[in-house]
Each structure stands twice: as C-alpha cells, then as structure tokens.
C-alpha cells in the first residue's frame, strides 16, 4: 500500500483544522479598535495553536518522508494522531474565550499531551514496519525533544492548577523548542544519498 | 480516465466531513469542568463517527487501490457514497446534543445503513468495470463483514425504537468489527506480486 | 506550467463547497421526527445542489483531462468558475430555508446561469490554448447540452417569477440531463489511443 | 525534501480560506430582494478578497514552480504566509458587515500588508535556497510590483484614517495590477527550455 493517500488525507485534515480555528475569531459588532480588544486572547491562543499545528505538519512531513509503505497499524496510528489534533479548535476556543482561565488552560495541555503521545505511537509503528534497518529510527536518534515534550506538558498541566502563567510559559517554550526544524532526518537521508 | 482526481476529491470531502463534525462541540461559556459535562454525549458521538469515517476512508483507500480506471458509473457511485457520509455531521450532532434519544439514534442508524449500501454499490461498480478477472472480487471473497453490517444496522434501527442502548451497542460493535483492518486486499495483491 | 495544482486546488474548493453546504442543515432542538419536518426543503435543496456540484466536478474532471498546460487565462477562467460555485451554499440555504420562495428560487437560477457561463468561458480558454488541433473542441462537438443549459436556466429564472414550480422542474430536469455522464470526451480520447 | 506536500498543504489551506469566507454571507430571513441589500457590502468585500486570494494562489503556484526543494526555512516562511492569509475571512467579514467603516478598512490593509511582506520573505528564502544561479531571482527581475504593493498598502492604511474611499480605490487598484498574470516566470523558464 502506498503512502500517497495517507499524506493527502493528513494534509487535508491538518489544513482544515488550522483554518477553521480562525472561525473562533468571531467578527465583532463594534467598528473601533476597542471592539477588537476582547478578541486579543482568542487571537493569541490562535497564534499558539497555529504554530503547534505548523510544527506537527512539518514533523509529520519529515517523518513520512522516511516511510515507504502504509500498513494497517500505521494508517490507524495516523488517524489517532489526527483525532487529537482535531480537538485543537475546541480547546483553543475555550482557552481563548475565557482569557486563559485555569481549566481551559489545563485541558489545552491535555490535548497537547495526547497529541504528543499519538505522534510517538505513530513513530513507533513506522519504525516497527521498517524492520531492523529503520531509517526513521536512525534519524530520530535518542529523540530528546520527543521524550522531553510530554514531560513538559504534564508539568504544564499540573502548574496550570496552581499558577496559571507557568503553564502558558511552558506551552510557548515547547513550541519554540520544536520551531527549530528537525534537521536530523534530513541529515540521515543525506548520508544515505537519498 | 485516471482515478487520481477521484481519490483526491474523496480525500478532500472525507477530510472536511471528519473535521467539521468537531464544530458541533460548541465552546461552552463556563470555565470549570462542569461546563464540559453536557458536552460528553456530543463528544462520545463524535468519537464514534470519527472511527466510522476513519474505517470508511481506510477501506475506500484499499478498495480504490485495486481499481485502475474511474468510469462514469464508478465516479457517480463514489459521489453517492460521499453524499451519505456528508450527513454524518448532522446525525452525529442531533444524536449527541439529545443525549442519544430514540429518534436521533434511529436516524443515525439509517445514515449508517445508507452509507453501507452506497459502499456496496461502489464495490459492485468497480468489480463490474474490472471484468471477469476482477482483483477486487477476489480480494473481498465472500465479503462476510460487508454483508453482515447492513443487517446489523437494520437490527440496530429497530432496536433503537424499543430499547435504545441495544442500538448503541450494535453501532459500536460493528465499528469494532471493521477496525480490524481489511487484510484480504493486501493479501490478494501480495499473491499477485503487486 | 503543469495543471496538477489547478486540479488539486479545484478539487479542494469543490470538496469544501459540497461539504459546508451541509452546515445549513442546522441540528434541530426537538427529538422527534416532527422536528425534522421544517428541514425537509433545506434537505431537498441540499440534494439538488449536491447533484449539481457533482456534475460540475465530473465534467471539470473530464475537461481538464484533455488539457496539458495551465496558462494564465485558463487559471483565471477556472477561478472565475469556482467563484460562482462558491455561492452555491448561500443560495441553497436561502432557497431551502424559505421553502422554495420566489426570489430565492430566481437567485438560485441566476447562480446556476453564471456558473454555466463561467464553465463555457473556461472551455473556450482551454480550446484556445490548445490551438487548431484541439482535443477538447473535437470532444465536445456541437456541445448541445452546454448550449441548452443556459437557455433553460433563463427560462427557469423567468418562470420562477410567474409560476414557481416550473422553475424547480427545470432545475431538476437540467441536472438529470447532465447526470448522463459525458461520454464524448472518453470517446474522443479513445479514438486517439490515449 | 520534495515540495509536493508543501504545495498540497498550501492548496488545501488556500482552498479552505477562499471557501469559508462565503460563510460570512449569512442567509437572510427575508425572501425579497430587499433582504439581500444589507449583504451587498459583505458581498463586495467577499469579491475583493476572493480576487486577492486568487492572485496569491496564482503567484504562489508560479513561484513554487521554480523551486525544487523545500528546506526548513522555506517551509516556515510558507506557513507564515498562510497565517496572514488565514486572517482574510476575519477582516473581510469585519469590513463587509460594517459597510467599509474606517477601522475595519485600515485593518484590512494591515493584513494585506503583512501578507505581502510574508510573500516577500518566502521569495527571499526560496532564492537563498537556490544559490547564485537562482531561477526565481532571474524570473522576478527588479520585482517592481512586489516592491510597489506594500508601499501602496501603507498609503491605503493611512488614507483610510482620513478619507476612506481612497483606501478602497487603492486596494482595488493593487488587485487589478496583479490580475495581469506574472508572465516573467513563464518567460524565464521558457528561455531555459523547461
């Protein structure tokens, strides 16, 4: 089974998720700048989620580049990842419209955590399908960022219940950590002469 | 006529259906966990529909893999399937927002049934277009799951009018039955050396 | 310039238009069948528009199959067609929610007419870009259906102002006329051995 | 890294943005032409934004045609452009629903400006990734239109605060200036014999 349609379907779902989030930015009734002020937290949470979905798309793009065939487990692990990502518009809207309140902030972290776990499962499924000489396994190496992220999300979720802003700092920090593009896979493929 | 655009269009429609369903999860006004409680049935029906659409995408992916050309009847049978799948967001929302009440549960089953029939028609059209030596015909064999599902949906629809939870158990059971990926096609193609 | 991205973009836009139309089917508050009754005209207009968009996608698919390169005028003629098709959700919703009233029925016809004209312009642009030996020009022949449709839409628009149901009959009749897949292009390509 | 998925993802996002804008055209309750009158400014701003997004898709299509590989900086510059384009539905709705009032008109100009800057950054990133013999650099030449547009947007934003209609004239004029398809790239590629 080729991977073309899995990529196309994932691109479609990610493109829609990233775009319908903007519908939470409801057009205000006022016509002055003051009318936009209540939208600021919604806008900021939109920017954060846009960056996270951009990171996921980017890394997904790189990861599937190492993958030749889409087996059943890989297809379902991919759908599982898309499921958690599809909850981004909901938690982004809830957090933004409630000005980064405690529970919405914690739930945002839970969805970040579940998406990170789903991404990890997909990674394992692809490596398993590639056998001993897995290109992806070599590419990710010790996978520091992949292992650190879920831990930081858990810290963020717990922190949100005590001191909310710590959670926000952590969510932004993890995003910045990933913004640095994942050159490991490009490098691994380069040495193989692909 | 190639099948590339039929796949691309189907992927697009399925990606949008699976994603706009999440818009039924309306962002609540409260900021505590209690505000999320009324959303639980909407969320559960979202999960069920997400799994069903994932199954359809998965099987559609496998089925079209055996298909080389998209004739007129195949294109229209495919659009007919997409039509019934496009009603998923509506029946999912109606069932979820009414806490799995009788009529919404029955209508959900009707859409499941119509989608299953549409899928069956598409299968017949592809087999017919492939002629005597149809790869798809060999791959599906006696097609037990395909024949059993509509019967179970009918039982579920009737049951929903008497004892609602039986319908829900049946809908979930059919989904689980299909979650096991359809290895028949992979096997049939393997023996052909594709 | 290749035509791949023009096809992909058109598929995306058509997939979204066909799918967001279903959002006009607002989830009702009641839980019995009576709650669905006011939705019947919305549903019927949804079915009609779904069929029309399916026809456009189908014919677009066939037409671009004859086209090798996407020049500037072809790209813009294509965007022009997509613009009129993008108004389908609006006029479908207006006609459906107002139980096929006069003005909404007339406006629905106007959008059908403009889309038909835009399709014709796109056809002309592709033929022009193909030069004297245009495959598309041969394929469409005298283009009876293409010439008849706009005339019928105009009749429908005028009829809607006098006797509404005549317009509805005409809109359905034109759709049925097109539902018969356009075998001309398949035939023309067959004789060329493509 | 191939550029296929970057194109597919961009097509998806652009297709969704251009289509969900139409959701701002809310179906009116009245059934006569008078009911449509308040929608006229929303419709006009929809047309303007549709044309702008069409221009962006068109030029994006041409620009990526010169690009062979999608490096990390190019991927992120592309996402950055998509971010600003994703705000089109919001500013279009705000400007349209408020009958082209001052602040909405100014903000529309700001999003136009930011999108133009993001497009310029993407252009620089692609040229840089192509090295000295950059095909894109040759193709765009002195890039008059690319340099003039942001200046005109700034003039438009400032003008909107004084005399609103000047801003509208400028926004329309820049769109018309770009509507003339960018033949420079087609020409440059032609001389290279691509």
Query: Is pLDDT at B145 greater than 90 in this prediction?
Result: no
Do C61 and B87 make contact, defined as CB atoms within 8 angstroms? no
Task: Tell me the pLDDT tens digit for each residue of B62-117.
Answer: 888 888 778 888 999 999 999 999 999 999 999 998 888 899 999 999 999 999 99
- The percentage of chain C sitting over the pLDDT mark of 70, rounded to a whole number, equals 91
Contacts of B19 in chain C (CB under 8 A): none
At residue D68, the pLDDT reads: 77
At residue C183, the pLDDT reads: 59
Query: Is pLDDT at B182 greater than 80 in this prediction?
Result: no
Contacts of B8 in chain A (CB under 8 A): 8
Q: Which of B64, B183, B70 is nearest to B135 (CA)?
A: B64
Q: Which two tokens stand for residue C179?
A: 């539902």
Q: What is the ipTM of this complex?
A: 0.87
Where do the H-state alpha helices sit in C98-143?
Answer: 102-130, 135-140
Rounded to a whole number of angstroms, the distance between the first and last alpha carbons of chain B is 21
- Identify the helix (H) or strand (E) that includes residue A172: helix A164-179
CA distance A82 to chain D (A): 15
The whole-number average pLDDT for the span A73-77 is: 90
Q: What is the DSSP string of C134-154?
A: -HHHHHHTT-HHHHHHHHHHH
Name the residue in chain C with its Cα closest to that of D65.
Answer: C1
Q: Which of D13, C58, D10, C18 is nearest to B17 (CA)?
A: C18
- Chains in contact with A, where contact requires at least 3 CB pairs less than 8 Å apart: B, D
Do D76 and A58 make contact, defined as CB atoms within 8 angstroms? yes
Reported confidence tier of residue D120, pLDDT bands at 50, 70, 90: very high
Task: Tell me the pLDDT tens digit for each residue of A18-67.
Answer: 999 998 899 998 888 899 998 999 999 999 999 999 999 988 988 888 88
Do B19 and A86 make contact, defined as CB atoms within 8 angstroms? yes
* Choice among B26-35, C150-159, D15-24, D66-75 with the minimum mean pLDDT: D66-75
Reported confidence tier of residue D151, pLDDT bands at 50, 70, 90: very high
Name the residue in chain B with its Cα closest to that of C187.
Answer: B1
- Identify the helix (H) or strand (E) that includes residue B83: helix B72-85
The whole-number average pLDDT for the span D79-84 is: 96
* Choice among C82-96, C100-114, C180-194, D56-70 with the minimum mean pLDDT: C180-194
Name the residue in chain D with its Cα closest to that of C90.
Answer: D27
Task: Tell me the pLDDT tens digit for each residue of D23-49.
Answer: 889 999 888 889 999 899 999 999 999
At residue A103, the pLDDT reads: 92
At residue D153, the pLDDT reads: 94
Query: Is pLDDT at C63 greater than 70 in this prediction?
Result: yes
| Contacts with A169 (C-beta within 8 Å, 6 or more apart), sequence order | none
CB atoms within 10 A of CB D30: 15
The whole-number average pLDDT for the span C119-137 is: 86
> Which one of D57, D69, D94, D99 would you mutate to disrupt binding with A, by most A Cβ within 10 Å of its Cβ?
D94
| Contacts with D83 (C-beta within 8 Å, 6 or more apart), sequence order | A47, A50, D118
The three-class DSSP label of residue C186 is helix
Do C16 and D14 make contact, defined as CB atoms within 8 angstroms? no
Q: Which B-chain residues 6-45 have CB contacts (< 8 A) with chain C? A: 6, 8-9, 12-13, 15-17, 20, 23-24
């Amino acid at each position: 089974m080729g991977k073309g349609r899995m990529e196309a379907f994932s691109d479609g779902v990610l493109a829609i998720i990233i775009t319908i989030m903007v519908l939470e930015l409801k057009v205000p009734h006022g016509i002055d700048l003051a009318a936009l002020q209540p939208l600021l937290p919604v806008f900021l949470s939109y920017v954060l989620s846009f960056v996270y979905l951009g990171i996921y798309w980017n890394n997904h793009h790189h990861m599937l580049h190492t993958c030749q065939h889409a087996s059943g487990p890989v297809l379902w692990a991919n759908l599982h990842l898309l499921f958690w990502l599809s909850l981004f518009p909901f938690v982004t809207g809830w957090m933004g419209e409630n000005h980064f309140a405690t529970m919405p902030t914690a739930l945002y972290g839970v969805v970040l955590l579940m998406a990170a776990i789903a991404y990890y499962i997909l990674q394992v499924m692809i490596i398993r399908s590639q056998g001993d000489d897995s290109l992806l396994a070599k590419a990710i190496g010790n996978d520091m960022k992949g292992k650190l992220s879920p831990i930081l999300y858990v810290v963020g979720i717990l922190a949100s219940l005590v001191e909310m802003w710590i959670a926000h700092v952590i969510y932004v920090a993890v995003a910045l950590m990933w913004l640095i593009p994942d050159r490991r896979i490009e490098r691994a493929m380069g040495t193989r002469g692909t």
